[in-house]
């Protein structure tokens, strides 16, 4: 295994567009990647932006092709993934773009960046005062260990197998979550629940609703609870075992399993947050407004979020789906002088339809199985990711025998 600088085994190392972009985005056009679209080994296409073909042409230097490696410069610098062959045109902002030569397997290169060694190496080469970033100069000079291409291919094959398993789980999760949302809308938006044809409709402030149901303030069916943050300059409050949820941790799926920051028992006692149990509904209220999540383990929460707890007869998962249904209202009824903010009064003013208790209980019996499958699949995905990450240093250091790695070419 030889040591070599990236510039000697890459056909191109460049940087995505750097500069203001808000006025350049279009409703459709050429997909445009940002740092938040790059996760370890995989693209995250949630909230992807687009630019016009003309703007894309002006940025040919940063155009991405299948097989390129995109590396985050700021935020989580060094996080890398390979561009799949599902795009005919693609561009980006503020990413390091690397086109490996035939001597370098792109998935092997992404593995180097995503390894503990890669993260540490990138962290040691950050520049900038106001906001540190990983620049192309450091990328070109980065010295890596390079085994023969067949060995790289075997390592890439192992990692790709883990990614495929995780992606299959993610696809199943998306289908299950869509089923839960559709079931909620069928019963409680279109009012086509079992036995609905026998129940007459009555007028209400929100239109015709089934007889026996009522229109109430959201705060009549759920308590709205706040969070808080321990002092950040007291070391004893931080790096404990308790997950600490902030808007940054809002997931793209139903459940959040872990958080970026953790607090100690002492830190929890020194802030306004409770230790909220699993299935508490979290909703982000400042900055990124309207992201809704269910913690899968007990978590504390900062002051930029609210925790919603159903009153008697209102199951948490039903409340979660109702909150998702109301997100558009919450987003369009924010306050705040400098940035959008959901306040408690927003929930008080928001009217919702409260179904008959027996219908809610029946729905819970139908939907709980879906939520349990989602939670199980997310745990499996997390375990696969942990196993892959534990395997990664052995693969990159040559600590696995050819037999353990398989005989791929």
- pLDDT, one tens digit per residue, over 322-368 is 999 999 998 888 765 445 788 899 999 999 999 999 999 999 999 99
What pLDDT, on a 0 to 100 scale, did the predictor assign at position 359? 97
What pLDDT, on a 0 to 100 scale, did the predictor assign at position 336? 55
More confident residue, 291 or 253: 291
Q: Which of 5-14, 66-75, 119-128, 193-202 has the lowest mean pLDDT?
A: 119-128
The ranges assigned to domains in the chain are 2-146, 148-191+356-409, 214-354
Q: How confident is the model at residue 409 (pLDDT cuts 50, 70, 90)?
A: very low
Question: How are beta strands 255-256 and 292-295 bridged, if at all?
Answer: parallel
Given CATH 1.10.3470, say whether it is the number of domain 148-191+356-409.
no
Q: How confident is the model at residue 408 (pLDDT cuts 50, 70, 90)?
A: very low
Q: Are 22 and 53 in contact (CB under 8 A)?
A: no
CA 363, distance to chain mean position in Å, is: 28
What pLDDT, on a 0 to 100 scale, did the predictor assign at position 20? 87
Q: How confident is the model at residue 262 (pLDDT cuts 50, 70, 90)?
A: very high
What pLDDT, on a 0 to 100 scale, did the predictor assign at position 88? 87
CA–CA gap between residue 140 and residue 117 (Å, rounded): 17
| pLDDT tens digit sequence for 98-124 | 999 999 999 999 999 988 888 888 877
| pLDDT tens digit sequence for 232-261 | 999 999 999 999 999 989 888 899 999 999
Question: How are beta strands 25-33 and 91-92 bridged, if at all?
Answer: parallel
CA–CA gap between residue 33 and residue 41 (Å, rounded): 15
| Average of per-residue pLDDT across 281-292 | 90
| Average of per-residue pLDDT across 186-202 | 95
CA 92, distance to chain mean position in Å, is: 19
Q: Give me the residues paired with residue 32 across strands.
A: 49, 91
CA–CA gap between residue 90 and residue 88 (Å, rounded): 7
Same-fold call for 2-146 versus 148-191+356-409:
no
Q: Which of 125-129, 236-240, 295-299 has the lowest mean pLDDT?
A: 125-129
Homologous superfamily, domain 2-146? DNA methylase specificity domains (3.90.220.20)
Task: Give domain 214-354's CATH number out of 3.40.50.410, 1.10.3720.10, 3.90.220.20, 3.60.20.10.
Answer: 3.90.220.20
- Close Cβ partners of 287 (under 8 Å, ≥ 6 residues apart): 247, 304, 339
CA–CA gap between residue 74 and residue 33 (Å, rounded): 14
Task: Confirm whether pTM is higher than 0.85.
Answer: no
């Amino acid at each position: 295994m030889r040591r070599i600088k990236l510039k000697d085994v890459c056909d191109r190392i460049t940087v995505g567009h750097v500069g203001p972009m808000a006025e350049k985005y279009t409703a459709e056009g050429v997909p445009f990647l940002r740092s938040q679209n790059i996760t370890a080994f995989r693209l995250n296409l949630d909230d992807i932006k687009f630019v016009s073909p003309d703007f894309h042409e002006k940025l040919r230097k940063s155009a991405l092709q299948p097989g390129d490696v995109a590396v985050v410069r700021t935020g989580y610098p060094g996080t890398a993934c390979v561009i799949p062959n599902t795009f005919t045109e693609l561009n980006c902002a503020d990413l390091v773009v690397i086109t490996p030569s035939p001597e370098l397997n792109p998935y092997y290169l992404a593995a180097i960046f995503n390894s503990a060694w890669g993260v540490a190496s990138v962290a040691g080469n950050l520049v900038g005062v106001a906001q540190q970033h990983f620049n192309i100069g450091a990328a070109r000079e980065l010295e890596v260990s390079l085994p023969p291409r067949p060995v790289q291919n075997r390592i890439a094959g192992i990692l790709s197998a883990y990614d495929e398993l995780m992606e299959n789980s993610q696809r199943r999760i998306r289908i299950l979550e869509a089923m839960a949302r559709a079931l909620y809308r069928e019963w409680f938006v279109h009012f086509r629940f079992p036995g609905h044809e026998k129940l007459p409709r009555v007028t209400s402030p929100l239109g015709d609703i089934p007889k026996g149901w009522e229109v109430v303030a959201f705060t009549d069916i759920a308590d709205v609870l706040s969070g808080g943050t321990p002092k950040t300059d007291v070391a004893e409050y931080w790096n404990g075992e308790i997950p600490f949820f902030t808007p940054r941790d809002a997931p793209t799926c139903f459940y959040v399993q872990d958080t970026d920051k953790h607090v100690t028992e002492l830190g929890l006692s020194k802030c306004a947050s409770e230790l909220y149990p699993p299935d508490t509904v979290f909703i982000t209220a400042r900055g990124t407004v309207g992201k809704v999540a269910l913690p899968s383990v007990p978590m504390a929460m900062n002051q930029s979020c609210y925790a919603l707890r159903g009153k008697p007869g209102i199951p948490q998962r039903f409340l979660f789906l109702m909150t998702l249904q109301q997100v558009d209202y919450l987003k369009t009824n924010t306050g705040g002088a400098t940035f959008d903010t959901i306040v408690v009064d927003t929930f008080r003013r928001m009217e919702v339809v409260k179904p008959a208790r027996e219908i809610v209980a029946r729905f819970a019996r139908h939907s709980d199985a879906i939520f349990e499958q989602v939670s199980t699949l997310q745990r499996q995905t997390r375990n696969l990711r942990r196993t892959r990450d534990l395997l990664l240093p052995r693969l990159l250091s040559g600590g696995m025998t050819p037999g353990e790695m398989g005989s791929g070419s």
